[in-house]
Copies of this chain bind each other. A is one copy, B any other.
């Protein structure tokens, strides 16, 4: 196997051809949500399978009830190499409003010698091709450092309806030591990022009931229990004065960040005011003594997402309602147990019910947090590899919401995921004039080469 320097040199030498290949893929209008473009999705899948085959992968297009999957597999140059599963998606968002595009979204252009402009340039064709180009460079210089399975999906932009069943039906083919996902962004144009944490979610609806019918507040007001009051008091208790969630045992399994990550986050040039200003706010709410980044990346939360009780129409009605309900969600981190959190919430509610009131609960999904351990050897190696490429320590990022594919990999294949991507905040993903920086494309490929090399050592 060649040295990483030889691989990087090959990548640099291949740049014009790599861009031509990306443009070929970008020219295929593989919009997944519109059935009229189904043949174009098949074309894109075929194109990718052919690419992989050309790189020595055992690759094929697999039909689904929707758009096809591309699945490829290649052995490493050496035995005992680690096995990784790489995920990307070849489908793209629709292009309307078309009149806001300055160029044809499916006639890719390199603008000002530095921006690749086309639908899918950043999300996700440009990104997945960084990995393909890294594989090519290894092939040209002696072989792959890792055993690699590649999964390219064609329905990510329309909710991945076929994915869970496909994963369940192809466990043996997909199972690897670690999943690599290239569908996220950099911290900024100079700073790479690895997303290692995705918060989990418990959804629960609570219905508080009192009288067996709606009452007239003139006749009963002041003497009969009002479920809206009861519910309001319970929800008001849900957070303590410090903004912490007051459920018993809620923070079991929640760990503080490692010192180096905490220090990194503190040092990040993140403008909390600007983040909030974008949605009309100015002061962070929530847990006292935590930064906004901590709050949305690494801290668990309780949020009421909906509340309903009594009369909600126009005007007024002096009703004392028989019931009131709330939909509450808990974002989980670390090793918080969704079932325990749900049970703790139910106890919390029941302990606060006054006489004559009952509570009913409706579950609305539960998923644990996903976290690639900070102590993971793969993470340490990837951090070092990205640092070598970018000259800066990569940001250990979290994601406040879930990314379904990562949950599927974890739940069905018991496989952790490391998310590394090179998109920038200004890439206009899902919008007109989507672009991908040429540096993202070139240094992204070099990054993957370094990561694969590092994982194999």
Contact = CB atoms under 8 A, between A and B. Distances in A.
23 contacts: A205-B316, A216-B401, A217-B301, A217-B329, A217-B401, A218-B400, A220-B279, A221-B303, A221-B329, A222-B400, A223-B286, A223-B292, A224-B279, A224-B284, A228-B306, A232-B307, A235-B236, A282-B355, A283-B354, A305-B318, A306-B317, A306-B319, A307-B307
Contact of A222 (B213, B222, B276, B331): B331
A276 B307 contact: no
Interface in A191-224: 199, 201, 203, 205, 210-213, 215-224
A295 B222 contact: yes
A429 B280 CA distance: 56
A119 interface: no
A417 interface: no
Interface in A299-328: 299-301, 303-312, 315-321, 324, 326-327
A229 B329 CA distance: 13
B303 A312 contact: no
Interface of A: 199, 201, 203, 205, 210-213, 215-226, 228-229, 231-233, 235-239, 275-276, 279-287, 292, 295-296, 299-301, 303-312, 315-321, 324, 326-327, 329, 331, 354-356, 364-365, 399-402
A391 B276 CA distance: 74
Contacts of A222: 285-287, 295-296, 299-301, 303, 331, 400
B296 A219 contact: yes
A296 B223 contact: yes
A304 B400 contact: no
A211 B307 CA distance: 17
B218 A199 contact: yes
Contacts of A296: 219-223
Contacts of A300: 222
A355 B220 CA distance: 37
B283 A402 contact: no
A168 to B, nearest CB: 24
Contacts of A285: 222-226, 354-356
Contacts of A312: 306-308, 312, 327
Contacts of A283: 225, 354-356
A437 B402 CA distance: 71
A218 B401 contact: yes
A78 to B, nearest CB: 41
A95 to B, nearest CB: 24
B310 A309 contact: no
Most chain B Cβ neighbours within 10 Å, of A239, A287, A315: A315
Contacts of A308: 307-308, 312
